[in-house]
A and B are shown apart, each in its own frame.
Chain A
Amino acid sequence: MRPFFFFLIGLLSCTASETHAGDKNGLSPALVFRPIYNGKELSGTSGRSLFVSGDTFSIDQIRFYCSDICLLDGEAIVWRDKTKCHLVDAHIPATLKIDLSKIGRRYTSIRFNLGIDSITNVSGALGGDLDPAKGMYWAWQSGYINMKIEGVCSKCDGRKYRLHLGGYSGENATIQTVNIPIQANDHEMVIGIETATILNEVKNGTTCSIMIPGKQAVILSDLAAKMFVPLK
């Protein structure tokens, strides 16, 4: 019994010891997403486009799930987000900044999932950001939509493109792990979302509409993970 007790004490004290630059001034660090298109920052109030290029192209909506955020020191996880999942919406500034609680450890990279894991996908009705009323859930075939990007593109049928990326089972699984190195332990870790990475596929007319799980969704989700880049 006793060794277990000491083990507990040890565990507690160890998380409280080391500090690092980010925590020193008493601020807890934050993860900040900055959606961009070819390097240009995207913003817009609800109902307005995030980016417009004449009447041939626009970005009207970017929403995605960011889940299981971890900070790593080398290979070791030194901190794990208690909130399982965040719905990030480019139209809602508050969702673009995720406050991470006090960390008190050195870390060299941040890791998170783009999308929802398979267990959550088969867990029935969930609340908060995972509430199906948030519009990130498929009605006719169960499963979360990991990411939605929509807008206008003159090359597409009906001039609209709609990328709804999701699918959780077997070879249709679309969840992606994103790993971003952190140079200094800054207060804010700014991660750019370079939408051109995926939207070039739309602009060259290759892909305009994905509304179901499948091969195409897997390929584009792979590409979507590559949108996330460290910004300095």
Chain B
Amino acid sequence: MKKWLFIILLTGAFVGLSFTNRKVAFFRVPEGWPAPTYNFNNNKLTREGVLLGRALFYDPILSADSTISCASCHLQYTAFTHVDHNLSHGIYGRIGTRNSPVLSNLAWSRLLMWDGAVNHLDVQPLAPIANKDEMDFSLDSSLIRLRRSALYPSLFRQAFGDTSITGERFLKSLSMFMLTIVSSNSRYDQVMRHEKGVEFSQQEQNGLRLFRQHCESCHKEPLFTTGGFANNGLPVDTLLRDHGRMRVTGKRSDSLHFKIPSLRNIEFSFPYMHDGRFDRLQQVIEHYTSGIRNSVVLSPELREPIVLSANEKVDMIAFLLTLTDKGFLYDTSFSYPRFLFMRQTKE
């Protein structure tokens, strides 16, 4: 009796496993990475769903005056951040109050936005769409436009089986696309995977050592963030008066805490920090070695001053540049889906 039960349970487990594997077939967890935090069982990735999400991501149809798309502020070749602007520019040329963060490896993220105000990737698009400074629109009006368009009813049918365009489907397809934006093939990754012929220079190796000593506690490998919040000692911008996480939690101890950003593709994601105050990595390193503003809310990891020689600073930057993933920045499966929109104009 017991033996049978065991066998039944075992087959059950196998069937269950292969089933869940099939559901996330589209999504490959890079070797040695932790399990994603995103629950793929509630949103099974499909090729068609990802394509729909990609179309929505690049389509200005989602903004009030049809000029701004998600991609306006999240450009692929700068790791999906807003190039050259410290504060993201949105609709009618208005300037928002924060720098747009890099979008990648979102399947591992927990709370989103610099202050963690968004609790799930699916509901993230609601914020920019409704934000007066960003797209100045509403989910409801977006859906009405999509229903009337020549392109979307058929894309929704391909993705979900019928032409019904609901908020749930809209949000889930955007998630599907954003989840596929994975960066895991930088030179750092190749070295960690011991790929043939790829090695760190002595400088980079030393940079990694220093990084692990001073930065790892917050910018944890392999994602280069713990997903948590910290105060890294930036003096508050007196004009913007952005207190970060405290706005959401109401806790004094969260004052000036911001989400710890990933450092992947940091070479291209300038300007840096939530308000884009630094243009170059040198400035960031200077901040960590001599610019930290001590206060009661400063994160404990940074209480001890970080001392780096001029050479060590150079080494650290050399290491940070190994996080660039060129394949990711030019991966055509994330880029503007010209073929879809061309078809539309022909029709």
Assembled-state Cα–Cα distance A159/B222 (Å): 54
Assembled-state Cα–Cα distance A138/B248 (Å): 13
Q: Does A135 contact B (CB under 8 A)?
A: yes
Known: A139-B129, A139-B130, A140-B130. A124 touches B122 (CB 8 A): yes
Assembled-state Cα–Cα distance A123/B139 (Å): 18
Q: Does B117 contact A (CB under 8 A)?
A: yes
- Which residues on A sit within 8 Å (CB–CB) of B42? 123-124
* Chain A nearest CB, measured from B112 CB (Å): 9
Decide: B250 and A122 in contact? CB cutoff 8 A. Answer: no
Decide: A137 and B127 in contact? CB cutoff 8 A. Answer: no
Decide: B250 and A131 in contact? CB cutoff 8 A. Answer: no
Q: Does A35 contact B (CB under 8 A)?
A: no
- Which residues on A sit within 8 Å (CB–CB) of B122? 124-125
Q: Does B143 contact A (CB under 8 A)?
A: yes
Known: A124-B121, A125-B123. A133 touches B129 (CB 8 A): no
The tally of residues in B whose CB lies under 8 Å from a CB in A reads 28
Interface flags, B26-43, vs A, CB<8A=1, else 0: 000000000000010011
Decide: A124 and B123 in contact? CB cutoff 8 A. Answer: yes
- Which residues on B sit within 8 Å (CB–CB) of A172? 250
Which residue of B121, B166, B172 is within 8 Å of A133 (Cβ)? B166
Decide: A142 and B171 in contact? CB cutoff 8 A. Answer: no
- Closest Cβ neighbor of A121 among chain B residues: B119
Q: Does A181 contact B (CB under 8 A)?
A: no
- Which residues on B sit within 8 Å (CB–CB) of A122? 119-120
Assembled-state Cα–Cα distance A127/B127 (Å): 18
Q: Does A230 contact B (CB under 8 A)?
A: no
- Which residues on B sit within 8 Å (CB–CB) of A121? 119
Best-surrounded residue of A126, A127, A134, A141 (most CB of chain B within 10 A): A141
Q: Does B340 contact A (CB under 8 A)?
A: no
Q: Does B282 contact A (CB under 8 A)?
A: no
Q: Does B126 contact A (CB under 8 A)?
A: yes
Decide: B117 and A140 in contact? CB cutoff 8 A. Answer: yes
- Closest Cβ neighbor of B119 among chain A residues: A142
Assembled-state Cα–Cα distance A121/B175 (Å): 17
Assembled-state Cα–Cα distance A127/B121 (Å): 16
Assembled-state Cα–Cα distance A149/B43 (Å): 33
Assembled-state Cα–Cα distance A214/B167 (Å): 27
Q: Does A115 contact B (CB under 8 A)?
A: no
Decide: B120 and A124 in contact? CB cutoff 8 A. Answer: yes
- Closest Cβ neighbor of B139 among chain A residues: A133
Decide: B140 and A142 in contact? CB cutoff 8 A. Answer: no
- Which residues on B sit within 8 Å (CB–CB) of A123? 42, 120
- Closest Cβ neighbor of B4 among chain A residues: A1
- Closest Cβ neighbor of A139 among chain B residues: B130
Q: Does A192 contact B (CB under 8 A)?
A: no
Assembled-state Cα–Cα distance A111/B170 (Å): 34
Assembled-state Cα–Cα distance A137/B167 (Å): 11
* Chain A nearest CB, measured from B140 CB (Å): 5
Assembled-state Cα–Cα distance A140/B247 (Å): 12
- Report A's interface with B, CB cutoff 8 A: 121-127, 131-135, 137-143, 172, 214
What are 17 of the A-B contact pairs (CB < 8 Å)? A121-B119, A122-B119, A124-B42, A124-B172, A125-B168, A131-B166, A132-B126, A133-B139, A133-B168, A139-B129, A139-B139, A140-B127, A140-B131, A141-B248, A142-B117, A142-B118, A142-B120
In the complex, given contacts A133-B166, A133-B170, A141-B118, what are 8 additional A-B residue pairs having Cβ atoms less than 8 angstroms apart?
A124-B39, A124-B43, A132-B126, A139-B126, A139-B139, A140-B131, A141-B117, A142-B120
